[in-house]
Amino acid sequence: MALRKPGSVFVVFLLSMAGVLGQNCFNVTYIHQSICALKGSTVELPCTYQHPNNHVVSEPNWYIQDKYNETPKILSSVPEYAGRAEYLGTKEKDCTLRITDLRERDSAEYKFRFKTQYAEWGYSFHGITLTVTDLQVKVSSSTEEKKRTLTCSTTCLLTDNPTYIWYKNGQHLHDPTSQQYSCNTLVVGCYSTDSYSCAVKDHDDFLTPTVCVVGESCLNVTYTKRSICALKGSTVDITCTYRHPSWHNVTEVSWFNKWETGVTTDLIQDPEYAGRVKYHPTTDKGSTLRITDLRESDSAEYKFRFTTTEVKWGYSFPGTTLIVTDLQVKETPGTEEGKVTLTCITTCTLTDNPTYIWYKNGQLLTNPNTQDNFLYLDQISSGDAGSYSCGVEGYENLRSPVTFFGEPKSLKNAVVGIIVVILILILCLFGFVWFRKKASKSTSDTRDRRDTVENGQRDSNPVYDNISGMTMAPIAAQRAITDEQDDITYASIQHRNQEVPLDSTVPPSHPQKQDEDFQYATVKFNSPSAAQ
């Protein structure tokens, strides 16, 4: 939920070199000069920018200027923002920044700067001041001590007149919806057992701790942490404290993460947690839930409930949300040539700021160049190649899967070049083989056609041989016969073991004698017409 200073309605902080009304100038525009947001929520810092048309933006970056750093730092290089800060803008006009899971440490001034091929702009100007606040319920009483006024307070004013939500004994009150709630010990029940808390609409998961309106003997449950991020396979402790009137005697305590209409299931009796759950009393009014060998399916909201001789209490209050994550290694090229950054990433920010450790080829790295969950590799050489994994101190056996970090860039390029050459040679070889096969097939087809013609000639030779070996009648006699008879039919023609005469006009297909028998059942010649 965003907040701003009183009276600062859409304060526009315009930064420009020249020509404010023109389009050919540099400027950065922030919609808000200051923003206040709830701890744990998400905030967007809206921003637009402009540059001359002949400039091309190459590096848009947000910087942070806080009390912990003397000089502004690039936000993407600050480990605390890893996985939480997201640049929503583009390289043209929009430069909006989003930050999730806000922490009080995020309170700082944020500046946008962009770089083109000719200039850099925005670094030295004022940016957006972000203030992160939480909610608290403050109780005040009148002089008569009958009226109680509860105020849902913050360190700055929320934007857009937000709607407030009030809870009494964990139950949502439909009225009021303002920042204050009043009750009277005589008219409206302000009993010693009643506890109150508040939240902001659309952020009702960020509930304030409960307070007693009368005395310190009301019923309530307060969790040490509203959310916990833990490693898969590790052990987690979820702790709370509880209060009740002095005349109540506690008979039972339990933890649960499943409930329907007030009916809860004790985790100790849940088969999914068999052998992995234990309850540890911290004080006479405190309890700790310990879960071992965490699984991703354990991610849920956990609540505490206690039973007294008078009431059962606790199931309606928000509990502690547990998120179980594993570790992964991500490789990111450095901003400078020859540098690489390895990041040990998780799906949520691990609780209690653990110390990260790194392994190369299964061996723990001693004195590595690290910062939080980052491992910096400078002046990359072949000696840096290998398998890398990460872990956290205290859980050295819970390492990330290994990530293979390759050879230096020059060697990579050489390997890529060799692979390309080999692929080209393979393509050329395939092309050569294909053309060779095609040419061979063409030659084979030509040879087959030639063989077919020759075979046809060989097959016809015996016929010609047979005919050439016959005793032919004189042409005049043949014509005489033709005149007398139109058709001549030979009942049988045989040729056996006859040598081809040397003066035959048809070349012999074989020099040896013809042993084959050629027999034609009927040979009939039709004479041409007499008018021919």
Give the pLDDT confidence of 426-480 residue by residue, as tens digits: 888 888 787 777 777 666 665 555 555 455 544 444 444 444 444 444 444 444 4
pLDDT at 516 over 50: no
Q: Work out the pLDDT band at 233, boundaries 50, 70, 90.
A: very high
- pLDDT at position 17 is 38
When mean pLDDT is compared over 166-170, 432-436, 502-506, the highest value belongs to 166-170
pLDDT computed for residue 99 by the predictor:
95
Q: Is the predicted pLDDT of residue 264 greater than 60, yes or no?
A: yes
> In Å, how far are 141, 168, 211, 317 from 216, measured between CA atoms?
15, 15, 8, 18
**pLDDT value of position 213:** 82
Contact yes or no for 370/393 (Cβ under 8 A): no
Tell me which residue of 285, 255, 252 sits closest to 268, measured CA to CA. Answer: 255
pLDDT of residue 448: 57
DSSP state of 21: T
Per-residue pLDDT, 446: 58
- At residue 309, does pLDDT exceed 50? yes
User: Which pLDDT belongs to residue 409?
Assistant: 47
Q: Is the pLDDT of residue 294 over 90?
A: yes
Q: What percent of the chain has pLDDT over 70?
A: 70
* Separation CA 411–CA 407 (nearest Å): 6
Residue 116, judged by CB atoms within 10 A of its CB (0-12, 13-18, 19+), counts as middle
Find the radius of gyration of the CA atoms of the chain.
Answer: 48
Among residues 246, 262, 237, 260, the alpha carbon closest in space to that of 313 is found at 262
Domains with residue ranges and CATH for the chain: 13-132 (2.60.40.10), 134-323 (2.60.40.10), 332-410 (2.60.40.10)
Average pLDDT over residues 375-386: 75
Q: 501: which 2 tokens? A: 């005469």
- The full DSSP string for 194-227 is -EEEEEETTBTTSPPPPEESSTT---EEEES-SE
pLDDT, tens digit, 9 for 90 and up, residues 47-92: 988 888 878 887 788 999 877 777 788 888 887 887 789 999 877 7
* Mean pLDDT to the nearest integer, 283-301: 91
pLDDT score recorded for residue 358: 94
* 452-467: b (≥16 Cβ within 10 Å) or e: eeeeeeeeebbeebbe
pLDDT category at 148 given cuts 50, 70, 90 is: confident
Q: Tokens 């949502």, residue?
A: 172
Average pLDDT over residues 397-425: 74
Residue 32 pLDDT greater than 70, yes or no: yes
What six digits make up the tokens of 109? 């001034």
Q: Show the beta-strand stretches assigned E in 204-285.
A: 211-212, 220-223, 227-231, 236-243, 250-256, 259-260, 263-264, 277-281
| Rounded mean pLDDT, 135-152 | 82
pLDDT of res. 79? 77
Residue 46: band (very low, low, confident or very high) from pLDDT cuts 50, 70, 90: very high
User: Scanning the structure block, which residue is given the tokens 């305590």?
Assistant: 253
Interatomic CA distance for residues 447 and 441, integer angstroms? 10
DSSP, collapsed to helix, strand or coil, labels residue 3 as: strand
For 91, residues 6+ apart whose C-beta sits below 8 A from its C-beta are 56, 57, 58, 60
Q: How far is CA 60 from CA 4, 92, 210, 321, 380, in A?
A: 26, 10, 44, 36, 26
Across 12-21, 134-143, 234-243, 509-518, least confident range: 12-21
